[in-house]
Amino acid sequence: LLSCRTTPSLQQTRSVTKWSLKKGKRKTVKAVVSRFYRLGWGAWIRPMVGHSKRHWSKTAKRKIRGEKHVFCNATQSTLLDKMVTKYWRKRRFYVDDMYESYHQREEYPSSAVKPH
């Protein structure tokens, strides 16, 4: 039999604060900034799900696969753009950026830097 006593669980929310109390501006959802990375052409990428969990039970191949990153689709990228402010939507320039090769898309003529 299931017991009738259930503990109230708090539902986590990652919603946008529409108006801050001090200045009346939108606020960035900090979970987006910590979990995702925005590329120069507007796409968002994230590491594979569960890449840092239960390493003792994973094979070496699975650990290597977990180090790779995954692109978010267009709907998710639009949603993430709405969850951050303009400051985070601008391109970030870092020294020795490991994502430097992903900031341009050479396969599309409209966004290519090198002439085809």
In this structure, what CATH number is given to the domain that contains residue 50? 4.10.410
In a domain, 96, yes or no: no
C-alpha torsion sign, points 62, 32, 100, 108: positive
Mean confidence (pLDDT) of the chain = 86
Overall number of domains in the chain: 1
Total-model pTM: 0.75
- Write phi, then psi, for 53 (nearest 5 degrees): -110, 145
In a domain, 101, yes or no: no
- Does 29 score more than 60 pLDDT? yes
In a domain, 105, yes or no: no
For the stretch 38-85, pLDDT in tens is: 998 899 999 999 999 999 999 999 999 998 999 999 999 999 999 999
Which helix (H) or strand (E) segment holds residue 80: the answer is: helix 74-83
Supply the range of the domain harboring residue 78. 27-89
Would you state the structure tokens that stand for residue 102, as one six-digit string? 């992903």
In a domain, 98, yes or no: no
Spatial distance between the Cα atoms of 45 and 69, rounded to a whole number of angstroms: 6
For residue 24, CA distances in Å to 18, 20, 33 come to 8, 5, 21
Specify burial of residue 96 (Cβ count, 10 A radius: 0-12, 13-18, 19+).
exposed
Which helix (H) or strand (E) segment holds residue 34: the answer is: helix 30-35
Averaged pLDDT for residues 103-113: 76
- Does 19 score more than 60 pLDDT? yes
